[in-house]
Structure formats: structure tokens, C-alpha cells
Amino acid sequence: MDGGRPRWTAARLQPVMSTRLATPADAAAIARIYNEGIEDRSATFETRPRTPDDVLAWFDGIHPIVVAERDGAVIAFAETTAYRQRECYAGVAEFGVYVAREHRGQGVGREVMEALIAAAESAGLWKLLSRAFVENAASRRLLARVGFREVGVYRRHARLDGRWRDVVIVERLLGGAASGEARESREARRPTAGGGPDTPREPHATHGTSRTRPKARRSST
Ligand SMILES: CC(C)(COP(=O)(O)OP(=O)(O)OC[C@H]1O[C@@H](n2cnc3c(N)ncnc32)[C@H](O)[C@@H]1OP(=O)(O)O)[C@@H](O)C(=O)NCCC(=O)NCCS
């Protein structure tokens, strides 16, 4: 996230791309980009096109949504949504990322995912997860680039247009959960430095403990 500050090319002094938190005014642009992803049949099991009103319901005041803009137009979005209703999972969110067709393969996905990760950390989330079709090379590469781990493959997870599809589960720890894991693995490699089996492993949950949690919405895969 760069706070909406545009970056400039040295050569043309043109705004290249900027990212910011989405607002309900972005719902129509987000729906248009999401519907391209649905039509492509390469990103999601969803087949029903979404309306701007459908997208408005994504804004729950808890889970961040970010957009990327170029020349004042929204060209990509990345969104989070509740993972489960159980309180213990309040800091875990599902995510999805979609770039408008004509802007793919130009680094936009990476920028918007980095913005989403920053926004999710600011919101107090401790993990993002999703699933990608095993054939979705662009998504798998992008997610590896921004620090996601491939957990494993769900075989025949659902059918798209009548055909069974396998999906790769991906996850990325955020904020204190990520740095805590790195510290604990360092300590585990130094047996005299403490960090034994009784060391608490759970991050402090500060997110979503006193608010009504929204229903989980599956917009990714
Ligand atoms: C997947 C998607 C979000 C990636 O965004 P993008 O802007 O096209 O990707 P970027 O240009 O930021 O590239 C990120 C990385 O993926 C690689 N990549 C991009 N397109 C690729 C492709 N078609 N095949 C293989 N790798 C690809 C890039 O080379 C880059 O890796 P590198 O840093 O090692 O060079 C975008 O292509 C998209 O919206 N696709 C349709 C919707 C979708 O699949 N969403 C994901 C649902 S899980």
C-alpha cells in the first residue's frame, strides 16, 4: 500500500500505478473485473456473474479490500473475507485477487497483493489463505513471489462446467504470527537458547474479538 501516492516513470512523468483501500464507490469496477475472472474459467468455481450490489455486501468494515489504479481507472482488486465463524479464527481471512484482462502480466497483481498484505496486517489479521487451480500458473507464481506457501492439493475439490478440478491450498502468515514463527524456528535450532516445547506458539488475538463477525463469503476459487 502506498497511501494512494502515484509512482512516476522517469521518462514520461505519467502516473504508473497506485494502490489504495477500496470504497463502496469501487463496487462496479470490482464487479466488472471479477466477472472477467469468472468468464475466463481459470480462477474460480463461480459461474454466476456478480452485480455491483453483490460486491457492496463484501464491505463489512473488518476485512480489507484494496484496488490498484492506473490513470484514474481501477484495474485490479484484492479482497479478504471471513474464513470461519468460530472466534478462534477471527484473524484468519480468505482472499482473492483479480487483475483486468488487459493489465495482466505487468506486475499489477504483485502490487495489489502487497497492498492487501499490508492492509491485512494493519487490520490485525494473522493469516491469509486461499486455493488456486493447480493449472493457474500465473496465480501460483504471483503468490509464491509475495510469500505464500503451498500447503497441499485438494483433489477433485469441486466441478467447474462439469469437470472435476484440483486446487492448491496456499497460506501466508502476517505480522506477529510471521515474525514469531521465524523467531521460534531460530530458537529451535539453538537448543540452549530456550524456546522449548512449552513456549507459547499462539499469536495475541487483537482482531475481531468484540464485533459481530460477518458470514463467510467464498469469492476465491
Ligand atoms: C493471477 C493474476 C492475479 C496475476 O496477476 P498479474 O498482474 O497477471 O501478475 P504479475 O504481472 O504481477 O506477475 C506475478 C508473477 O507471476 C508471473 N506470471 C504472470 N503471468 C503468468 C503466466 N501467465 N504464467 C506464468 N507466470 C506468470 C510473473 O512473471 C511474475 O513472476 P516473476 O516475478 O517471477 O516474473 C492475474 O493474472 C489474474 O487476474 N488472473 C485471472 C484471475 C486469477 O486467476 N486470480 C487468482 C485466483 S486464485
Mean pLDDT in each 10-residue stretch from start to end of the chain (221 residues)? 51 71 98 98 98 98 98 97 97 98 97 98 98 98 98 98 98 94 82 42 34 49 76
State residue 12's pLDDT score.
Answer: 53
Task: Dig out the grid coordinates for 16 from the structure.
Answer: 504508473
Show the CA angle centred on residue 144, arms to residues 138 and 149, nearest 5°: 130
Separation of alpha carbons 84 and 202, rounded Å: 18
State residue 4's pLDDT score.
Answer: 52
- pTM, two decimals, is 0.85
Closest residue by Cα to residue 65 from 125, 107, 7, 12: 125
Report the SS3 class of residue 164: strand
Which residues form the pocket of ligand 1, taking CB atoms under 6 Å from any ligand atom?
37, 40, 42-43, 96-99, 104-110, 130, 132, 136-139, 141-142, 145, 220-221
State residue 1's pLDDT score.
Answer: 52
State residue 196's pLDDT score.
Answer: 39
CATH fold, domain 18-191, is Aminopeptidase (3.40.630)
Domain layout of the chain by residue ranges: 18-191
State residue 100's pLDDT score.
Answer: 98
- Residue nearest to ligand 1 atom 48, measured at CA: 132
Separation of alpha carbons 21 and 64, rounded Å: 7
Which atom from ligand 1 is nearest to the alpha carbon of 106? 11
CA of 141 to the centre of ligand 1 (A): 6
> To 10 degrees, the CA torsion angle through 185, 186, 188, 189?
120
